[in-house]
């Protein structure tokens, strides 16, 4: 069988080609990301894999007997999942992708603020070698981390924060029933008592600009905001106002809105904002895991087996 790869973000396709060939299948790589290109290739394939490219109903319908639509990632915004479900086509993703990496990145941003790492580096490279220029620093042990959204990544971050002696508060839609010594609290309480707030919530109509002027105003004086989730969760104009007023101590932003952002935006130039280019998800290990898992799920679907992570309501015998 033949598998259409709509797009990819890595340098080679050795993993995908090797796994598919071993199972007796062929990879068909789209030369561009236009819908018409996908539709023209779809007539000759049995499955679709996509990283960021949009896979609408028209592309899905162009595959005569589509066995699976596989997302090389976690989110499913670029796939018409409802249409796949109506056609009894399984949709897969990799929910464990980059969990460790994003948690590590969030903690790195937290530590950078706690120890003024980025600030001192910037000052020193401008010829200012002065300890007294930096904001005052407090011991990390005993300080409070508030985590908004407590799925796999939030829990992984909590493990790391607890390991360095922090206290962890969480706010989540579903009560946490695991064994980590964290405390679930109302959103406003988390904001008012946390020294650092790390966002790990999905972007929906309800959570768009979850951190706007009112929310930011409820944060503890001098606390720090970290966002490695989705740029649209934060109103960046309101964030800049909160930082310039001194109410918010700073922000670590790995995600932006739009993305890539216009680097002329004032909040990105502020000395109390650390900016990384949507890098939290990546590592050699996470990328290899993603590619292996996604391709193996496609192979299972082509063989009539239920893939490991089916996100829609498709019944397997």
End-to-end CA distance of the chain: 22
Tell whether 316 is covered by a domain. no
The whole-angstrom separation of Cα 67 and Cα 177 is 36
Tens digits of residue pLDDT in 13-71: 999 999 999 999 999 999 999 999 999 999 999 999 999 999 999 999 999 999 999 99
In this prediction, residue 312 carries a pLDDT of 94
pLDDT at 242 over 80: yes
Query: Which residues lie across from 146 on neighbouring strands?
Result: 169, 197
CATH code of the domain covering residue 293: 3.40.50.720
Q: Out of 18, 36, 244, 259, which one is annotated catalytic?
A: 259
Asked, for residue 315, whether it belongs to a domain, the answer is: no
- Give the pLDDT band of residue 180 (cuts 50, 70, 90): very high
Average pLDDT, the chain: 95
Whether residue 138 sits in one domain with residue 43: no
Tens digit of pLDDT for each residue in 82-128? 999 999 999 999 999 999 999 999 999 999 999 999 999 999 999 99
Percent of the chain with pLDDT over 70: 99
User: Active-site residue among 2, 208, 247, 278?
Assistant: 278
Looking at the structure, tell me whether residues 121 and 243 fall in a common domain.
yes
**CB within 8 A of 306, min separation 6: which ones?**
90, 300, 316
Do the domain assignments include residue 151?
yes
Catalytic residue among 230, 236, 272, 291: 230
* Contact present, 35 and 54 (Cβ < 8 Å): yes
In terms of domains, do 44 and 141 share one? no
Give me 212's structure tokens.
């706007």
Q: Is 267 a catalytic residue?
A: no
Tell me if 117 is assigned to some domain. yes
Split at pLDDT 50, 70, 90, the class of 314 is confident
Residue 247 is a catalytic residue: no
At residue 77, does pLDDT exceed 90? no
| pLDDT band of 204, cuts 50, 70, 90 | confident
What residues make up the domain containing 211? Answer: 99-275
Residues contacting 72, CB < 8 A, separation 6+: 8, 49, 50, 51, 94, 290, 291, 294
183 pLDDT band, cuts 50/70/90, is very high
In a shared domain, residues 154 and 58: no
Residue 312: both structure tokens together = 């829609």
Sheet holding 69-71: strands in order across?
A: 26-29, 2-5, 47-50, 69-71, 91-92
User: Do 20 and 151 share a domain, yes or no?
Assistant: no
What is the SS3 assignment for 257? coil
pLDDT in tens, 133-161: 888 899 999 999 999 999 999 999 999 99
Does residue 314 belong to any structural domain of this protein? no
- Would you say residue 90 lies in a domain? yes
Q: Check residue 103 and give its pLDDT.
A: 98
CB-based burial of residue 253 (10 Å sphere; 0-12 exposed, 13-18 middle, 19+ buried)?
buried
Question: Is residue 159 flagged as an active site residue?
Answer: no
| Same domain flag for 128 and 49 | no
Q: Which pLDDT belongs to residue 9?
A: 87
Q: Give the chain's domain count.
A: 2
Environment class of residue 174 by beta-carbon count within 10 Å: exposed (0-12), middle (13-18) or buried (19+)?
A: exposed
Q: How confident is the model at residue 316 (pLDDT cuts 50, 70, 90)?
A: low
Residues 147, 14 share a domain = no
The burial of 204, by beta-carbon neighbours within 10 Å (0-12 exposed, 13-18 middle, 19 or more buried), is given as exposed
């Amino acid at each position: 069988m033949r598998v259409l790869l709509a797009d990819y973000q890595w340098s080679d396709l050795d993993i995908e080609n090797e796994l598919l060939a071993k199972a007796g299948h062929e990879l068909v790589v789209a030369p561009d990301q236009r819908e018409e290109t996908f539709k023209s290739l779809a007539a000759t394939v049995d499955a679709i894999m996509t990283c960021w490219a949009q896979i609408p109903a028209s592309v899905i319908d162009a595959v005569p007997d589509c066995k699976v639509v596989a997302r090389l990632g976690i989110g499913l915004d670029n796939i018409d999942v409802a249409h796949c479900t109506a056609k009894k086509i399984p949709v897969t993703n990799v929910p464990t992708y980059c969990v460790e990496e994003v948690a590590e990145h969030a903690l790195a941003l937290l530590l950078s603020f706690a120890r003024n790492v980025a600030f001192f580096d910037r000052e020193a490279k401008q010829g200012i070698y002065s300890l007294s220029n930096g904001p005052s620093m407090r011991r990390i042990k005993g300080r409070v981390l508030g985590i908004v959204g407590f799925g796999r990544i939030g829990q992984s971050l909590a493990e790391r924060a607890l390991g360095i002696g922090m206290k962890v508060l969480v706010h989540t839609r579903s009560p946490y029933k695991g064994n980590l010594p964290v405390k679930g609290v109302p959103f406003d309480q988390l904001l008012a008592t946390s020294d650092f707030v790390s966002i790990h919530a999905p972007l929906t109509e309800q959570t768009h600009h979850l951190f706007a002027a009112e929310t930011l105003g409820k944060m503890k004086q001098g606390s720090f905001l970290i966002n490695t989730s989705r740029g649209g969760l934060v109103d960046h104009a309101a964030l800049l106002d909160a930082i310039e007023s001194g109410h918010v101590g700073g922000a670590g932003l790995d995600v932006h809105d739009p993305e890539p952002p216009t680097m002329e935006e004032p909040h990105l130039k502020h000395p109390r904002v650390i900016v990384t280019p949507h890098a939290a998800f990546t590592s050699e290990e996470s990328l290899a895991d993603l590619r292996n898992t996604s391709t193996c799920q496609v192979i299972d679907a082509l063989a009539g087996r239920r893939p490991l992570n089916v996100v829609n309501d498709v019944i397997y015998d």
